[in-house]
Structure 1
């Protein structure tokens, strides 16, 4: 089981503007969403985890190994990161070459890299585009190419930065299946998100960041129940949670199935459609 421990983490880009002031956090094999407004510190934390930045003080331990003792190249074998903007990640002229690059870079053989890349492309639904130039694909498809690139590396920790960006309903459903598959495989999945509905439906644990501090850390239902903390962080509850509240329920719903079940229990023979006209 992967275990990520952050101890008294301090970091600043300059002495005048510190970002973190003693963050303490422990994450194991649980799907975890990092939420908060831009500038809250989420992306900076991810760069520290990847070894792209070095803590001013404190420690980041991955299964007991201090990231300060590892190069970013060595950490790449353990932590895979899907960038927010796929155009910042893609640089090959063929989808298959792009997806194979990461696996080859961390020491997989050509045969292993080809097999893992093929499986990853199948998982994201892009097998038929393996020979195409990534920039001939749509933005949502390019995002899926970068996801496949990281999946093919078979790292134990996978971090997604805004994976729902540019995705339609079908794309989001595909992402849900991928994340759940990774969790079932025992991977540690972290995700930076502004899509509260996606967070509510997919993630077991949610951490709210605000101005370099952790405002709230808990199971997702508990976090979205705390409107006071959400307001402080300038975040909204998921739409389904808001709808349940408008219908007079006190429960915090995380998906439409939960709301429909409670509506049926409360209103018995009234159709769901008619509720919106009560």
Structure 2
């Protein structure tokens, strides 16, 4: 059970009851999970951040976790508006957005559209929404998509779990989440990040940025992130031994990265 499951609330946006969890005080940190999973992929980060004195908000994307039922096609643009509505409902003025996978793509759009509402952005296991997509990346996506489409429906959740994580516990959690969805929904979600891509030449983030991925991330984001980091004049953080679900494969390593990044955002202490 998630550390904040017993304190969850629901808000209704565009026909869906979105479940969210709000805990603590201090710098507001909003965590958005990726395709097919739910807020529990951040359980270790929620506990760490809350103990560090931050206000921590997690939520389930529509059609995921406890934000169900939802039988309409998943619209990533609506998910951006869902996140904006969540910030408004909770009177969040400037948040640190932390997103994984699709959640990171959604967070990128909101940070680009409303930079005044975002203090910083942490992208975990996701490609840039604005960078050029290379021919090799396009071909890789086509090959992976074709393989997933050919995978029998009963086998697809297990296959996705195997390629998403390197540790048994992370694979088990992912498998349980993916088994709750149809093959059509899983394939729809797999393609959703690309629908948020809008190439913008020479674009650089208007808020402080942190890029994190697992060493063995097989989702195809590694090449994009390697090109992205130099453009932002930062270094990507590659977590050894972890896969795409790096928050589950290596929670302590991710917590250390988040802790250091958030510490850098704090204003220097005044001296007399």
Q: What is the TM-score when the length of structure 2 is the normalising length?
A: 0.29
Computing the radius of gyration from Cα coordinates, the structure with the larger value is 1
More strand by share: 1
